[in-house]
Structure 1
Amino acid sequence: MNLHAIWAIYLYEMKRFFRTVMESLLSPVISTSLYFVVFGAAIGSRIDEVEGVSYGAFIVPGLIMLSVMTQSISNASFGIYFPKFIGTIFELLSAPINFLEIVLGYVGAAATKSLLIGVIILATAEFFVDLDIQHPFAMMAFLVLTCVSFALFGFIIGIWAENFQQLQLIPLLVITPLVFLGGSFYSISMLPPAWQTVTLFNPVVYLISGFRWSFFGTADVAVGYSLLAIALFLGICLALVWLIFRTGYRIKS
């Protein structure tokens, strides 16, 4: 394995991130603060507790997941789409590196950026609510798996997209609604029975539920199902990436 090539791609992507570090890091801090003002203060003042947890603390895992998922997709999709757009991807494909090394460089950088943002949002949340994370290692595991899985998904979107508008299509029209409807700001046990059943078809529910369990020890679905869901999604994304490079779909043409 060509570690120098992986490191070169990774470092290039990270430098691009740090060139806009204020916008990249300040934006999630401001967004998180606004969510706490609106949901934590305005709405939370009317809700005592959710599953034995203050409402302000309850929404923290959902806020982190919302940012991590969207940022993972955005970073990875733009990272691979831009070389396609300006034509430098052919230089990358003709270099003595294989598809696995290309994926590790781009996806690793995108996952690292999202992980940093997730940690910053968690630190920001500490200024608003008291958090006592019951399973810190499980929390980091869920966070890393989510960053990697959705960075892979973003990489696929970047290959598929033919213009900048398509880069934002799936994050805006699919991922964000699924996160908002996946129990980010409420427990699905608060829904009527029929809607609880419908909500279980939302794959994001399992990710948020497992991540929330790592914070508070309570979950809407069993933790095993959450791990199975993220492992399945990761496996599907890996298979699709392999198929893309195997066939040259929208890369070599």
Structure 2
Amino acid sequence: MNLYAIRAIYLFELARTWRTLLQSIATPVISTSLYFVVFGSAIGSSMAQVHGVSYGAFIVPGLIMLALLTESISNASFGIYMPRYAGTIYEVLSAPISPLEIVIGYVGAAATKSVILGVVILLTARLFVDFEIAHPVWMLAYLLLTAFTFSLFGFIVGLWADGWEKLQVVPALIVTPLTFLGGAFYSISMLPELWQTITLFNPVVYLISAFRWTFYGVADVNVALSFAMTGVFLVACLAVVSWMFRTGYRLKN
């Protein structure tokens, strides 16, 4: 394992965060704060508790997951797309570093940035609502698992995209709508029975449900199933990345 190469890629990608601090950290935090003001204060004040939890506290896991998914994909996809766009990816590919080490460097940095953002949003939420974390170890573990999984997915998007516009297609037009429809701001038990069944085909439901369970011990779907589906998606992403490096898809042409 070439730890020096991994460290070089990892630190270079993290350094980009501090150069774009306003976009990387401040903008998502401000956007999340507005959600708390609008949903938590304005709407939440007129709503009863959801599963025994105040509405303002109930939406905290959903807001963190919304930011985590979009930022993980965006950070990782931009991180690998830039070397392709600038042509420096060939220097990385010709260096004495394996595909696994390349993935660890880029994906690890993207996941780290997403986890930092998630923690910042969690601390910001304390300024607006009171909440408790029932399973802090599981919360941190699932936060790391989700960040790494979707950073890996973002890495795939960055290799697949052949233009700047495509980098925003998945996070903006797919992940964000699925998150809004996946129980980020409500419990799916509040929906009519037909729509509850339809919602179960939304994979983001399982992510938000499991993450909310780590906070309050309540979930819309089976927690073990949620963890299992996240693990399956992680394995699928690893398989796709392996195929991309093996065939040179969008890397060597």
> In structure 1, how many angstroms separate the alpha carbons of the residues matched to 2:98 and 2:172?
32
CA–CA distance in structure 1, aligned partners of residues 58 and 183 of structure 2: 10
The 5 A counterparts of 1:170-189 are: 170-189=170-189
Paired position in structure 2 for 1:19? 19
Which amino acid in structure 2 is aligned with residue 118 of structure 1?
Answer: G
Tell me what 1:110 maps to: 110
Equivalent position amino acid for 1:39 in 2 = F
CA distance in structure 2 between the aligned counterparts of 1:23 and 1:16, rounded to whole angstroms: 11
Q: Please identify runs of 4+ aligned residues in structure 1 that moved more than 4 A.
A: none
2:68 — aligned with what?
68
Distance in 2 between the 1:198 and 1:235 partners?
A: 25
Deviations along 1:40-85, one digit per CA (max 9) or x if unpaired, are 1111011020010000000000000000000000000000000000
Q: Does 1:135 align with 2:135?
A: yes
Task: Give the CA deviation at 1:133.
Answer: 0.4
What secondary structure, in the 3-state scheme, does the structure 2 residue paired with 1:49 have? Answer: coil
Residue equivalent to 2:30: 30
Q: What TM-score do you get using the length of structure 1 for normalisation?
A: 0.99
The corresponding residue for 1:150 is: 150
Displacement of 1:179 after TM fit? 0.4
Letter of the 1:165 counterpart: E
Normalised TM-score (structure 2): 0.99
Q: Which residue of 2 aligns with 1:50?
A: 50
1:190 matches 2:190: yes
Letter aligned with residue 232 of structure 2: L
Alignment gaps of 5+ in structure 1: none
Q: Distance in 1 between matches of 2:237 and 2:247?
A: 15
What is the match of residue 231 of structure 2?
231
State percent identity of aligned pairs: 65
What per-residue deviation string (whole Å, max 9, x for no partner) do you get for residues 178-207 of structure 1? 100000000000000000000001011001
- 1:5-35, Cα deviation, whole Å (9 max, x unpaired): 0000000000111111233221122111100
Match of 1:201 in 2: 201
Is 1:163 aligned to 2:143, yes or no? no
Q: In structure 1, give the amino acid aligned to 2:233.
A: F
Quote the Cα distance in structure 2 between the aligned partners of 1:196 and 1:219: 14
Separation (CA, whole Å) in 1 of partners of 2:168 and 2:20: 19
Aligned-pair CA distance for 1:173: 1.1
* Partner SS state of residue 250, structure 2: coil
Aligned partners of 2:201 and 2:187: how far apart in 1?
A: 15
Deviation at 1:208, TM superposition (A): 0.3
1:120 aligned residue: 120
- Distance, in Å, in 1 between the alignment partners of 2:243 and 2:195 is 36
SS in 1 for 2:219: coil
